């Protein structure tokens, strides 16, 4: 079906743009560390023009602070015209972050929720932004939304709650910043929003994942859905049921019609079909298997090496353990957090709708 808005021609691939915001934990060795702010300061001052807007820091909230104040760090790409270009830009951002964190014992851990705790406000996500002309945003939202529970299995990486296996993504169920879709598409804390701040479609339900091949498949699938999916009213109850199944059980026959429909969209877009096995066998499964066999620290060490481009391979080898450096943390508070505080306050105002949204990308 062709998307033709009033007074507009059909939506074309060149009408779309793509951006990624990725959050990851910086652990030392299994606990998020306030030294993360120091590493962000290094990232910022090596390229302030870029990383003043395209990086961020996050903190736990409420009772979760008892397990540590620091949450994940965030990097984001600039606007790109294709899925492949967006993922390549993310690889560049990852390399910059890895260089900034090049200290013994600092691990970059791309999971949605840490395996040994139950902290719903201390989570990391992967946000996908799709720039769509304003006249097509609502129809594009309706086309994309039904596929999200299926697509979430491409990135699921949160298999545990408090040291016990949960399912593909505990973050999808418990995370404070996501949830089933609502009729108000600008309501912030749901899986897919029309961003007030950026004017994009922002998918918020995905976990971070080290495997960039999966990310290319994900963005191609989202583009194909926007261009070739059916424009029909959203079944909110059906969506909520499928997202729950995706998070707690994983792929099953309930997802088969969506998978077949997605394959049709990808074929219409001229993109390769995603192997069904990538939905059945998640990264979350790999992480859970490694954690059961080798334990927490070796699994995080393997995730760090995978994030840095070495592939996910687990052994009994663990990270270097060193003492917390309070001076590094204090330097990060001054050199990063305080420097970016005016920008963060402005961002909060824009996201709350108190300032006009701008059609751009950035953290």
Q: Where are the domains of the chain?
A: 13-351
Q: Can you state the percent helix, strand and coil of the chain, rounding each to 5? A: 45, 15, 40
- Per-residue pLDDT, 320: 79
Omega of the bond leading into 336 within 30 degrees of 0 (cis)? no
Nearest to 76 by CA among 144, 132, 141, 24: 24
The pLDDT tens digits of the residues spanning 166-221 come to 999 999 999 999 999 999 999 999 999 999 888 999 999 999 999 999 999 999 99
Whole-number Å distance between alpha carbons of 35 and 64: 19
Q: What is the value of pTM for the model shown?
A: 0.93
Q: 346: pLDDT confidence band, cut at 50, 70 and 90?
A: confident
Omega of the bond leading into 208 within 30 degrees of 0 (cis)? no
Whole-number Å distance between alpha carbons of 132 and 109: 32
Tokens read off for 138: 């609502």
- Could you tell me how far CA 330 lies from the centroid of its own chain? 28
* The residue count for the chain: 363
Whole-number Å distance between alpha carbons of 190 and 293: 35
Tokens read off for 147: 């596929």
The pLDDT tens digits of the residues spanning 54-93 come to 999 999 999 999 999 999 999 999 999 999 999 999 999 9
Tokens read off for 85: 């270009």
- Per-residue pLDDT, 360: 40
The pLDDT tens digits of the residues spanning 268-322 come to 999 999 999 999 999 999 999 999 999 999 999 999 999 999 999 998 777 778 8
Residue 193 forms beta bridges with which residues?
202
The pLDDT tens digits of the residues spanning 101-118 come to 998 889 999 999 999 999
- Contact assessment for residue 107 and residue 22, using Cβ atoms and an 8 Å cutoff: no
The pLDDT tens digits of the residues spanning 232-250 come to 999 999 999 999 999 999 9
Place of tokens 């899986």: 191
Percent of the chain with pLDDT over 70: 94
**Fold annotation for 13-351:** Creatine Kinase; Chain A, domain 2 (3.30.590)
Tokens read off for 96: 């910059």
Which residues does 196 contact at the CB level (< 8 Å), separation at least 6?
A: 186, 188, 350, 351, 352, 353, 357
Residue 165 forms beta bridges with which residues?
160
Report the SS3 class of residue 124: coil
Whole-number Å distance between alpha carbons of 235 and 34: 42
């Amino acid at each position: 079906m062709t998307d033709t808005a009033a007074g507009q021609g059909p939506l074309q691939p060149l009408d779309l743009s793509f951006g990624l915001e990725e959050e990851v934990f910086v652990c030392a060795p299994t606990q998020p560390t306030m030294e993360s702010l120091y590493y962000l300061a290094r990232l910022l001052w090596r390229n302030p023009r870029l990383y003043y807007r395209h990086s961020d820091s996050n903190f736990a909230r409420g009772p979760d602070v008892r397990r540590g104040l620091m949450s994940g760090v965030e990097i984001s790409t600039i606007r790109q015209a294709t899925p492949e270009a967006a993922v390549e830009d993310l690889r560049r951002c990852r390399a910059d972050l890895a260089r900034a964190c090049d200290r013994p014992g600092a691990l970059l851990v791309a999971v949605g929720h840490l395996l040994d705790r139950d902290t719903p406000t201390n989570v990391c996500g992967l946000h996908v932004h799709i720039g769509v002309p304003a006249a097509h945003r609502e129809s594009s939202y309706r086309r994309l939304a039904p596929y999200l529970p299926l697509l979430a299995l491409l990135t699921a990486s949160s298999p545990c709650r408090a040291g016990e296996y949960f399912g593909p993504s505990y973050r999808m169920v418990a995370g404070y910043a996501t949830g089933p879709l609502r009729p108000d598409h600008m309501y912030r804390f749901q899986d897919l929003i029309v961003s007030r701040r950026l004017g994009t479609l922002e998918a918020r339900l995905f976990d971070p994942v080290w495997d960039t091949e999966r990310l290319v498949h994900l963005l191609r699938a989202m583009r194909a859905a926007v261009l070739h999916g059916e424009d029909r009213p959203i079944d909110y109850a059906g969506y909520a049921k499928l997202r729950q199944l995706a998070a707690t059980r994983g792929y099953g026959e309930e997802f088969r019609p969506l998978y077949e429909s997605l394959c049709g969209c990808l074929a219409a877009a001229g993109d390769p079909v995603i192997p069904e096995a990538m939905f059945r066998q998640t990264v979350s499964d790999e992480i859970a298997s490694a954690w059961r066999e080798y334990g927490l620290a070796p699994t995080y060490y393997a995730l760090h090496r995978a994030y840095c481009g070495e592939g996910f391979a687990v052994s009994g080898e663990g990270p270097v353990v060193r003492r917390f450096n309070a001076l590094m943390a204090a330097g990060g508070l001054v050199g990063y957090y305080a420097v970016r505080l005016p920008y963060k306050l402005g961002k909060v105002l824009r996201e709350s709708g108190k300032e006009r949204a701008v059609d751009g990308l950035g953290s």
